[in-house]
Amino acid sequence: MSETMKNTALFGWVFAMIVLTGIMQSWNVALLILNMGLISAIMALGVNLQWGFAGLFNVGVMGFVALGGLAVVLTSAAPVDGAWSAGGWRIVIALLAGAGTIVGTVMVRQRMATGRARNITTIAILVVGFILYRAILDPGVNAVEAINPALQGNLGGLNLPVLMAWPIGGLLAAGVAWLIGKTALGLRSDYLAIATLGIAEIIIAVMKNEDWLARGVKNVVGLDRPVPYEIDLQNTSSFVNRAEGLGLDPATASSLFVKLNYSILFAVVLVIIFVMAQLALKSPWGRMMRAIRDNEVAAEAMGKDVTNRHLQIFVLGSAVCGIAGAMMTTLDGQLTPGTYNPLRYTFLIWVMVIVGGSGNNLGAVLGGFLIWFLWVQVEPMGLWLMELITAGMADDSGLRKHLIDSAAHMRLLTMGVILLLVLRFSPRGLIPEK
Amino acid sequence: MDFLNALVALSNFVIIPAIAYGSQLALGALGVTLIYGILRFSNFAHGDTMAFGAMLAVLITWLFQSMGIGFGPLPTALLALPFAILGTMALLLFTDRLVYRFYREQKAKPVILVIVSMGVMFIMNGLVRFIIGPNDQRFSDGERFIISVREFKAMTGLKEGLAIKTTQGITVVVAIICVALLFWFLNRTRTGKSMRAYSDNEDLALLSGINPERVVMYTWLIVAALATTAGVLYGLDKSFKPFVYFQLLLPIFASAIVGGLGSPLGAIAGGFVIAFSEVTITYAWKKVLKYMLPENLEPSSLVQLLSTDYKFAVSFVILIVVLLFKPTGLFKGKSV
């Protein structure tokens, strides 16, 4: 069987499973899986850029996904009345002062000669800077958070169309990735992993705590969406007529129509990013990246700037994750910082890349769809399995109840088993790198 | 008097909790550092190993409680601990046989082993949730306090109270015993010495006839004991919740790296560095400053440098600072 045939068969099989879901469960569920599968595929492409192309071990994917989500609020939400005049500018000045402190510290450390004088100056700048920063920031934050706290209490956004938030989410993630890469990319692979793990937690902590930014754990709901609302469609007579012509009731038809619109939008983004990633992989730049990955020392001896290339691809991969994060928040219509969990948003993406085939873009996309499908469907399958196992037990048996209640936790177990099986028996993934 | 009050407040809210937390982190970091030294990879499943061990202890404690077995004023969980350690040892040896050994024989790159440990992490996490569920479980019993605030105030007549929880006392005592045993084992016994030799130079150790599989087996056994103890102590002190153990991964790794990966002494030092910085930076200093400063200088705000939710940021910043200035950690660790 040729390679193209095999790949087509793999993709065909995954999509057949999704179609089967549509027939057996409902088309709504199938489209939900498809939409999140598209987003997962984009995230997997981002991680594949970093790990598959360049061998960078980034386990901070969650942070960049969350930044993309934040970008949606900051771009598309309406600005809160009076927030900027009450304290918004003050916050901006405080943040600039904080950034200035750090830049000052770095400059002092670069310019001054090593010794006690340098250490004392460093500490002095940091302490004074921190006090100054808090002194400017705190009143501003209090003023902003006091504005209509039940519904707002944040700065709001720029009121731009929500589709703009996707590239902006990528840019935001890229900017933060650049800062992180500057400090952490010099570290060895293990250290980089822990560092990125920590950064992701910090990004989530900031988003949960800084209520003036995006309301923290109070969540932002009712974000703009790029597609029509179901209720508007149901009130449009032409749509209702057409739905009835297809033999669907207007409620189902409108929800399917909205989801299909999302699918088309997401598919367009996926195709664009996929084509770009493919072109990058086949270009001299992509070959250089793989050369660096396979032998850093040799690549450096050939005059390749390893540190800068790493920084470049770290920023690019993170930007892709940021775009996917913005798309996901748009799909949800709300930003809920409390729900970001590294198992779901970092390690699951890694499972997608490893299972699909690291270093191969097609593999990453396949992994995204396949693992997302399993992540959703393992739960009903587990429940079914548990009911089968416990069928012989008495109805009031405690064990039976426990087993059926625990079926929901089967998915983590299954993901681990899949990852280990693939690593053991097909370590290069379903669609290996060429 | 004001000075004493300040000191008592400081001990009550900063020093004692940080010592207890630091001991827990140190035990966790010792496990990470041993695996790194002997098996040469960062074990992402360590937090979930702790959760698994603690879960066994919780289940056995419940069994003992239902049978009416208690441990007097001490928590029953201490009685359950040895059994939980045995269970965790069995699990880790089983995982090694089934999963890690294959890659060891292949001489796989360390980063592959890290990804493998990610898979093990998923499985253990799922297993714990499957068996005990994702919710909070309380399993501490016995006396709650060694000294309660009221007793302390009556005893000393100070305005500030000092409370030492039984779990905090137990944490420190058990941690000291564990560390003493570990160092005795590593420095005095034949097996311990061969472990250190293997960690220092694998080729030389193999050449002098050390059986690597035996070394690896003992490492997993020790790691199981350390992880379970750390998990149970943390669970007694706070409460048992599977997801919290997963989140402990970051401070534990920070401790091990700050101390120098592969160095047991470093892991302990790192644990306390991280714990003390986390607690001091997220503590509201108003109470202590109120006693220390003259009345007109009394602070109006809480004087809290960072809100408690930023404690991850603290471990992380320390990690970065230490790595920038001393790339191998405070105590010379190793790099792969």
Interface confidence (ipTM) of the complex: 0.90
CB contact under 8 A, A424 and B102: yes
pLDDT of B79 above 60: yes
d(CA A367, CA A357) in angstroms, rounded, equals 7
Partner A contacted by B73 (CB < 8 A): no
**What is the pLDDT at residue B229?**
96
Most confident range (mean pLDDT) of A198-207, B5-14, B213-222, B254-263 is B213-222
d(CA B281, CA A202) in angstroms, rounded, equals 15
pLDDT of A140 above 60: yes
pLDDT of B335 above 60: no
Please report, for the domain that includes residue A179, its CATH number: 1.10.3470
Domains: count for chain A: 2
Q: Which residues of A touch B249 (CB under 8 A)?
A: 197
CB contact under 8 A, B316 and A205: no
CB contact under 8 A, B309 and A205: yes
Domain for residue A434, yes or no?
no
Residues with Cβ within 8 Å of residue B305, at least 6 apart in sequence: A130, B281, B282
Give the minimum alpha-carbon distance from B133 to chain A in angstroms, rounded to a whole number.
Answer: 7
Minimal Cβ distance to A198: which of B102, B301, B312: B312
Minimal Cβ distance to A201: which of B36, B122, B312: B312
pLDDT of A349 above 90: yes
Residues A150 and A161 in one domain: no
Q: Which residue of chain B has the CA closest to A343?
A: B122
- Of A94, A126, A155, which residue constitutes the final position of a domain? A155
Domain for residue A430, yes or no?
no
Average pLDDT value for residue range A144-148: 84
Domain for residue A359, yes or no?
yes
Partner A contacted by B306 (CB < 8 A): no
CB contact under 8 A, A201 and B111: no
Residues A415 and A392 in one domain: yes
CB contact under 8 A, A413 and B123: yes
Residue A386 belongs to what domain range?
A: 3-79+156-425
- If you search the block for the tokens 């097996």, which residue do you land on? B191
Q: Which residue of chain B has the CA closest to A206?
A: B310
- Of A155, A179, A194, which residue constitutes the final position of a domain? A155
Residues A139 and A275 in one domain: no
Most confident range (mean pLDDT) of A18-32, A37-51, A127-141 is A37-51
Domain for residue B280, yes or no?
no
Domain for residue A10, yes or no?
yes
Domain for residue B313, yes or no?
no
Residues A232 and A129 in one domain: no
Domain for residue B325, yes or no?
no
Residues A150 and A195 in one domain: no
pLDDT-derived band at A348 (thresholds 50, 70, 90) equals very high
Give the minimum alpha-carbon distance from B223 to chain A in angstroms, rounded to a whole number.
Answer: 19
Residues A353 and A409 in one domain: yes
Average pLDDT value for residue range B149-164: 84
CB contact under 8 A, A202 and B42: no
Residues A99 and A75 in one domain: no
Average pLDDT value for residue range A72-78: 90
**What is the pLDDT at residue A198?**
87
Pair A49, A360: CB distance under 8 Å: no
**What is the pLDDT at residue B336?**
45
pLDDT of A396 above 80: no
Minimal Cβ distance to B313: which of A193, A202, A427: A202
Q: How far from A193 is each of A183, B133, B319, CA to CA, in Å?
A: 13, 29, 12
Residue B89 belongs to what domain range?
A: 20-246
**What is the pLDDT at residue B5?**
84
CB contact under 8 A, A406 and B246: no
Residues A141 and A102 in one domain: yes
pTM score, whole prediction: 0.92
CB contact under 8 A, B313 and A351: no
A interface toward B at CB cutoff 8 Å?
A: 55, 57, 130, 138, 183-184, 187-191, 193-195, 197-199, 201-202, 205, 208-209, 341-343, 347, 350-351, 354, 405-406, 409-417, 419-420, 423-424, 427
Average pLDDT value for residue range B26-36: 95
**What is the pLDDT at residue B185?**
95
Residues A167 and A148 in one domain: no
Residues A282 and A398 in one domain: yes
Minimal Cβ distance to A409: which of B126, B247, B323: B126
CB contact under 8 A, B42 and A190: yes
pLDDT-derived band at B294 (thresholds 50, 70, 90) equals confident
- Of A111, A127, A155, which residue constitutes the final position of a domain? A155
Domain for residue B320, yes or no?
no
CB contact under 8 A, B116 and A423: yes
Domain for residue B323, yes or no?
no
Residues A163 and A273 in one domain: yes
**What is the pLDDT at residue B276?**
93
pLDDT of B204 above 50: yes
Domain for residue B324, yes or no?
no
CB contact under 8 A, A412 and B123: yes
Minimal Cβ distance to A412: which of B36, B125, B335: B125
Residues A290 and A145 in one domain: no
Q: pLDDT (tens digit, 9 = 90+) per residue, B87-98? A: 999 999 999 999
Q: Which residues of B touch A189 (CB under 8 A)?
A: 110-111, 114
**Mean pLDDT score across all residues of chain B:** 89
**What is the pLDDT at residue A352?**
96
**What is the pLDDT at residue B334?**
64
Q: pLDDT (tens digit, 9 = 90+) per residue, A105-135? A: 988 888 888 888 888 998 999 999 988 998 8
Q: pLDDT (tens digit, 9 = 90+) per residue, A243-276? A: 888 888 888 889 999 999 999 999 999 999 999 9
- Lowest-pLDDT choice from A351-365, B71-85, B316-330: B316-330
Domains: count for chain B: 1
